[in-house]
Amino acid sequence: MRIDRIAHQSVVIVGGGFAGAVTALKLLERTEVPLKITIIEPREELGRGVAYSTAEPVHLVNGPSGIFSLYPDDPDHLSRWLVENGPAHGWTPPDEVGSSSPPRYLYGTYVRDELARAAKTARLCSTLRHVKSSATALVATPNRIQITTAAGLVVEADEAVLALGVFQPRLSPTEARLAGHSRFAANPWDAHALDRLVDSSEILLIGSSLSMVDAVASMEARGYRGRYRVVSRRGQFVEGRRTVEAARDFLADGGLPLSARELLSRVKAERRAISAAGADWQGLPLAIRPHILSLWQGASDHERLRFTRHLRAFWDVTAHRSAPESHQIVERVIAEQRLQHGRARILGFSTKKDAITVKLKVGMDVESVSFDGVIDCRGHQLHDWSQISDPFVKHLIATGEVRAHSTGYGIDATPAGDLINEDGLVHRNLSAIGHPLRGVAWESSSITEQRAQAIALADRILAKFTPVRVA
Ligand SMILES: Cc1cc2nc3c(=O)[nH]c(=O)nc-3n(C[C@H](O)[C@H](O)[C@H](O)COP(=O)(O)OP(=O)(O)OC[C@H]3O[C@@H](n4cnc5c(N)ncnc54)[C@H](O)[C@@H]3O)c2cc1C
């Protein structure tokens, strides 16, 4: 085993998707001491993770470029980067680039290139290195963190950050029947699986949110001209994002609600007021979003779980709308009467050579319908760390270095993101960012929240390294 000892002021980040890459970028940008940063990430490129690894140009970021700059003080940075670099990467920027939604592969290129630029121009001889492997074990002592990779490398550092993203659940026995079937795509980002479905006459899309929009856009781009049947448990259907002003800051009146019930009743009252005034309801989530962290952190676990059980699905479909450009494709397909959507529960699948028969419960009725293609668009995510089968996660839980959050979402941490071990002790040198913190800070998965977390995390780490100046 090779020991690779990093000198002082060293940070190791496990996971080089968006959250890990942006943390490294902010550390390099803001440091006043020499830093050695290591990112452990098995993917070839940093900054892409799951979301920005898709190569399909029709998979877009779900908001306008104007809100996704990596530098909140320079909101036009991404738009300028797109104008300069888009054409070289096969994308022609539209006139109103700030209000357009670029392809996700291009956004990943932006993150990757900005991180590379920050490393190249880093002050104080700071360095960044990418270890292309997976972390498998972690040992934390009060002053050092030691992480072992699958390749047998041991990386030691003063500080460590877990930016592991989100994990997939195991297939249910019902779903397992479809795995490997030639007419089944387990997700809308598997280009080869989608290629096989182009000659279908009717495709079942399971799930009706943003991943469903990716699936329709991909199939249309491939020349598919058959029908789609979209089913979801609640029958909600994602909407396209419209350009609207945030509604008035109604939650600031009279203090934030402390229960899910009070939150719901205040949101409903505001929704009625918005409708009566003839305004657009899409301003409502924009008014709620700045309060999410305070609402979540001010609520008891009981209320948080009531939110996740009863309101989460409504919040997700309301807050996470699709890019207008992608939504136009869905609207066209609906106008051509090729897409039908509704509430249904899947009871089971049976397969024949080129057909998948699905048993659906629609209202009180049970239907058996045959499709020649099925795409799973549920964007499965497993948040409960006690159930995740990934070896590193299992190791972290088994050794007690981290403990599952009491809500069943991610791991326990202080409100600032310092991780808490099995004995309830706060690590001084081990933090997390993004999805692992969902139990602590609910909306930890989107670009804008992760960008804010990365800046705060970088500043916290750097404050520990920076000598205090006296007059
Ligand atoms: C398809 C899709 C589209 C999305 N689109 C948008 C959007 O348009 N706008 C938006 O705001 N948000 C979007 N999101 C939300 C998305 O979660 C965030 O934008 C962001 O990409 C999450 O980054 P992350 O680094 O937390 O996770 P990930 O991107 O999942 O990155 C985690 C990384 O950790 C690595 N890793 C895991 N375990 C280990 C280990 N043991 N050792 C080393 N590395 C490890 C993985 O390889 C992975 O690269 C989208 C999400 C998905 C899935």
Whole-number Å distance, alpha carbon 227 to ligand 1 midpoint, is: 31
Helix, coil or strand: residue 452: helix
Residue 140 and residue 109 in one domain: yes
Read off the tokens for 360: 């659906």
Q: Which of 319, 334, 363 is the last residue of a domain?
A: 319
Residue 209 and residue 274 in one domain: no
Residue 46 CA to chain centroid, in angstroms?
16
429 domain-assigned:
yes
Strand bridging mode 373-376 / 202-206:
parallel
Residue 111 and residue 150 in one domain: yes
245 domain-assigned:
no
Domain of 344, CATH number, reads 3.50.50.60
Size of the chain, expressed as the number of residues it contains: 471
Indicate the top mutation candidate among 53, 155, 164, 450 to test ligand 1's pocket, ranked by most ligand atoms within 8 A of CB. Answer: 164
300 domain-assigned:
yes
Residue 115 and residue 50 in one domain: yes
* Count of other CB atoms within 10 angstroms of residue 243: 9
Residue identified by tokens 């104007």 is 66
Q: Which of 360, 376, 392 is the last residue of a domain?
A: 376
Whole-number Å distance, alpha carbon 165 to ligand 1 midpoint, is: 5
Any idea what the Cα angle at residue 282 is, between residues 107 and 337, rounded to 5°? 80
- Print pLDDT tens along the chain (471 aa): 454 444 579 999 999 999 999 999 999 999 999 999 999 999 999 999 999 999 999 999 999 999 999 999 999 999 999 999 999 999 999 999 999 999 999 999 999 999 999 999 998 999 999 999 999 999 999 889 999 999 999 999 999 999 999 998 877 787 788 888 999 999 999 999 999 999 999 999 999 989 999 999 999 999 999 999 999 988 888 889 998 999 999 998 878 998 999 999 999 999 999 999 999 999 999 999 899 989 999 999 999 999 999 888 888 888 889 999 999 999 999 999 999 999 999 999 998 888 899 999 999 999 999 999 999 998 778 899 999 999 999 999 999 999 999 999 999 999 989 999 999 999 999 999 999 999 999 888 899 999 999 999 999 999 999 877 777
98 domain-assigned:
no
Whole-number Å distance, alpha carbon 17 to ligand 1 midpoint, is: 5
Residue 180 and residue 217 in one domain: yes
Residue 117 and residue 35 in one domain: yes
Residue 162 and residue 191 in one domain: no
Whole-number Å distance, alpha carbon 428 to ligand 1 midpoint, is: 25
Ligand 1 atom at minimal distance to the Cα of residue 167: 30
Over its C-alpha atoms, the chain yields an Rg (Å, rounded) of: 23
Query: pLDDT at position 6, please?
Result: 44
90 domain-assigned:
no
Query: pLDDT at position 467, please?
Result: 75
Whole-number Å distance, alpha carbon 310 to ligand 1 midpoint, is: 26
Residue 305 and residue 271 in one domain: yes
Q: Any residues with Cβ below 6 Å from ligand 1, and which? A: 14-20, 40-43, 49-51, 61-62, 134-135, 163-166, 392, 434-435, 445-447, 450
Query: pLDDT at position 429, please?
Result: 96
Whole-number Å distance, alpha carbon 381 to ligand 1 midpoint, is: 11
Query: pLDDT at position 315, please?
Result: 85
199 domain-assigned:
yes
Q: What is the pTM of this model?
A: 0.93
Residue 311 and residue 351 in one domain: no
The one-letter code for the residue type at 229 is: R
Query: Which one, of 217, 237, 29, lies nearest residue 117 by Cα?
Result: 29
Residues 170/186, Cβ–Cβ less than 8 Å: no
Query: pLDDT at position 5, please?
Result: 46
Query: pLDDT at position 3, please?
Result: 45
Residue 352 and residue 212 in one domain: yes
Interatomic CA distance for residues 371 and 295, integer angstroms: 44
Residue 393 and residue 350 in one domain: no
Residue ID of nearest Cα to ligand 1 atom 12: 446
54 domain-assigned:
yes
Query: Which one, of 351, 386, 413, 27, lies nearest residue 181 by Cα?
Result: 351
Q: Where are the beta strands (DSSP E) in 330-391?
A: 339-343, 345-352, 355-362, 365-371, 373-376
Count: domains in the chain = 3
Q: Which of 294, 319, 344 is the last residue of a domain?
A: 319
The one-letter code for the residue type at 439 is: G
Residue ID of nearest Cα to ligand 1 atom 2: 51
The domain containing residue 438 runs over which residues?
Answer: 2-59+103-168+382-470
Residue ID of nearest Cα to ligand 1 atom 38: 164
Residue 329 and residue 357 in one domain: yes
Interatomic CA distance for residues 341 and 409, integer angstroms: 30
Whole-number Å distance, alpha carbon 50 to ligand 1 midpoint, is: 5
262 domain-assigned:
yes
Query: Which one, of 174, 181, 129, lies nearest residue 155 by Cα?
Result: 129
